[in-house]
Chains A and B, each alone.
Chain A
Amino acid sequence: MLEISGVTPLADVVAYVDRLRASPDAGEILVGLLAEQSPIYDGRSTNEAERLRGYVLTSFENIGLPASAMAFVIEELETGLNAYTVAAAAKAVRGIHDPPEHLVPLMLEAIDRIASSDDVVCFEHILPRAGGAATTTALTELFRTFAWLGPRAVAALPALKAMLERNPSTFSPAVAREIEKAIAAVAIGQPSTHHSCCAHNAQPSSFLTSSDIDIGSIALQDQDGELFSFGEFFRGRPSALTFFYTRCMNPNKCSLSITKLGRLQQRTREEGLDARFNVAAITYDPAFDISQRLRIYGANRGLLFDDRTRLLRTMGPFDPVQRYFDLGVNYGSTTVNQHRIDLILLDSCGSPSTRFTRAQWEEKDVLAAMNSLS
Chain B
Amino acid sequence: MDVKDYRQAYERELTAGSSRAKAAAPASAAAAAPHAAAIDEISRVPQERDQLPTKIPSLIATLRDQNVATPIRQAALRALRAVAFLAELFAPFRAEFLDALRQIAKPDTDQQLRQDALEILSAEKDPYAQDLLKKGLENEQDSLVPAVKALQFLRNDDHGNFVDIARDVFQKAQDVATKVAALRIMATDAKSRGLLEQLLQDKTQPQALRTLSATGLHFLDPQKFAEVAQKIILDKSDFEDIRATALGALANAPDHQHLFHDTAFIDAIKKLGSEGPLQNLHSAVGRFMSKL
Residues of A at under 8 Å CB distance from B? 43-48, 51, 83, 115-120, 127-131, 135, 137, 139, 168-173, 175, 247, 249, 287-288, 290, 292, 332-337
Contacts and interface: CB of A to CB of B under 8 A. Distances in A.
Contact of A137 (B95, B106, B127): B95
Given A127-B127, A128-B102, A334-B159, A292 B95 contact: no
B216 to A, nearest CB: 12
Contacts of B91: 115-116, 118, 170
A175 B92 CA distance: 8
Given A168-B53, A170-B88, A131 B93 contact: no
A131 B221 contact: no
A169 B191 contact: no
Contacts of A137: 95
Contacts of B64: 131
Contacts, number: 105
A282 B259 CA distance: 29
B161 interface: yes
A119 B222 contact: no
Given A46-B159, A47-B130, A288 B220 contact: yes
Contacts of A48: 127, 161
14 contacts: A44-B161, A46-B159, A47-B127, A47-B130, A130-B105, A131-B99, A168-B88, A168-B89, A170-B92, A287-B191, A332-B161, A333-B164, A335-B159, A337-B159
B190 interface: yes
Contacts of B106: 130
A308 to B, nearest CB: 25
B96 interface: yes
B292 interface: no
Contact of A118 (B95, B102, B125): B95
Contacts of A175: 92
Given A47-B127, A139-B95, A292-B255, 17 more contacts: A45-B161, A48-B127, A116-B91, A116-B94, A118-B95, A127-B128, A130-B106, A131-B102, A168-B89, A169-B92, A170-B88, A170-B92, A173-B92, A288-B190, A333-B164, A334-B159, A334-B189
A341 B33 CA distance: 57
A247 B64 CA distance: 35
Interface residues of B, number: 40
A242 B126 CA distance: 30
B158 A335 contact: yes
A247 B220 CA distance: 13
A117 to B, nearest CB: 7
Contacts of B230: none
A171 B64 CA distance: 21
A5 B103 CA distance: 32
B157 interface: yes
A169 B93 CA distance: 11
B201 interface: no
A288 B105 CA distance: 34
Nearest to A119: B95
B102 A249 contact: no
Contacts of A172: 92-93, 95-96
Contacts of B255: 292
Contacts of B53: 168-169
Most buried by A among B89, B100, B159: B159
Nearest to B52: A168
Interface in B114-143: 125-128, 130-131
A47 B157 CA distance: 10
Interface in B66-105: 87-89, 91-96, 98-100, 102-103, 105
B126 A128 contact: yes
Interface in B210-266: 220-222, 254-255
A117 B92 CA distance: 9
